[in-house]
Amino acid sequence: MSRLVNCLALVATVALAACSSTEKPKPTALEVITPQISGHLVWSARVDAIQFPLAVTVRDGNFIVAGGDGSVVSLEAATGREQWRGQAGRKLSAGVGSDGRYAAVVTVDNELVVLDRGNRIWSTPLQSRTTTAPLVAGERVFVVGVDRLVHAFDALDGRRLWTYKRSGEPLTLAQPAVLAAYKNTLLVGQGASLVGVEPLKGAQSWDVAVTSPRGTNEVERLNDLVGPALRVGDTVCARAFQTAVGCIAANTHTLRWSRLNAGQQALGGDAELVFGADASDRITAWRASNGDTAWTNERLLYRGLSAPLSVGKAVVFGDIEGQVHFLSREDGKTLLRLPTDGSAVVAQPVASAGTVLVATRSGGLYAFRTD
């Protein structure tokens, strides 16, 4: 057990990319731009400072967001009007997953907490630390820990339904994993593989690797899939930590393509293009059909870019200074730049009802629209 704890601590250090080093390059200075599209802030809100991996859930025209103090709130995407609010009772380590009614978060005490439209209805202890937002689907709550054990609970009463365990790598990544739904299959990241799990009984259905392990030791060979995954129709794309990006055909359980690309953040995209930034924040657009490079952008190097969002004619990235960059999805040129509160954008931007929501480290929620 002590070896596992030490390994997880080591992996967390790797995931932070040696942030204590004084040799880390300074963010590239922002170029002066002439906006090519117009955009404006339509509303803003605030939650407690976000010191955990936040996943903002979009359901039925609402954004469901969690704050570091355990607060969970549903906001109407178009107006920012609060629909409901709840409280987990402790600081959070992961969240939030929701189907629109039930919302699930995990506390720093490894407690899974589920709310029904803001009302806390049950909680249960978990076996390990959790950094991945739970998935709520089909009146079930699915959770994956940093040990990559997957648990399923009844959303109504918290009964544990099953636990899935796959023998795998001795080290796992202490950052969000892939946990998603595809039709009647649960998708889970296990190492560099995307695994299809039967959601009623927890039995494995299929397993497809995005890439193969590389390196001479366990740390160098660490290549867990980074969540959240990008799903467009039957295609699921994901990044293998510091190794590669790739897309899998979930309907045929086959790898469509894989490309070497050393990065730490999740991917974004649409039916035509897949977007991502590598470890130095060099942005690449790959063609979704075959993985060929469509364009690259080196104007935002070392700016601590978030995972991207593809929306309309733009691909949107947040950065470490709270700037929100709208780039042309066709060629990567900057279309628009909008500020927030100066603190880092900490979650992948999301969109609903023509509104793009960005969350910052200090707890700022900023909703933008472009014209």
- In this prediction, residue 6 carries a pLDDT of 37
pLDDT in tens, the chain (371 residues): 333 433 443 344 344 444 444 578 999 999 999 999 999 999 999 999 999 999 999 999 999 999 999 999 999 999 999 999 999 999 999 989 999 999 999 999 999 999 999 999 999 999 899 999 999 999 999 999 999 999 999 999 999 999 999 876 555 666 899 999 999 999 999 999 999 999 999 999 999 999 976 655 555 557 899 999 999 999 999 999 989 999 999 999 999 999 999 999 999 999 999 999 999 999 999 999 999 999 999 999 999 999 999 999 999 999 999 999 999 999 999 999 999 999 999 999 999 989 999 999 999 999 999 98
Q: Are 11 and 177 in contact (CB under 8 A)?
A: no
Cβ-contact 176, 131 below 8 angstroms: yes
What is residue 168's predicted lDDT score, i.e. its pLDDT? 60
Tell me, what's the pLDDT at 39?
Answer: 96
- State the Cα–Cα distance between residues 27 and 302, nearest whole angstrom: 5
Q: What is the pLDDT of residue 7?
A: 43
Q: Which residues pair with 232 in a beta bridge?
A: 235
The pLDDT value recorded for residue 222 is 72
pLDDT (0 to 100) of residue 172: 60
Model confidence, pTM: 0.91
> Residue 140 in contact with residue 152, Cβ under 8 Å?
yes
- All structural domains of the chain with their residue ranges: 27-53+302-371
The domain 27-53+302-371 is placed in CATH, from the list 3.50.50.60, 2.40.30.20, 2.40.128.630, 1.20.1260.10, at 2.40.128.630
What are the distances in angstroms from CA 211 to CA 175, 207, 208, 230, 371? 19, 12, 9, 17, 40
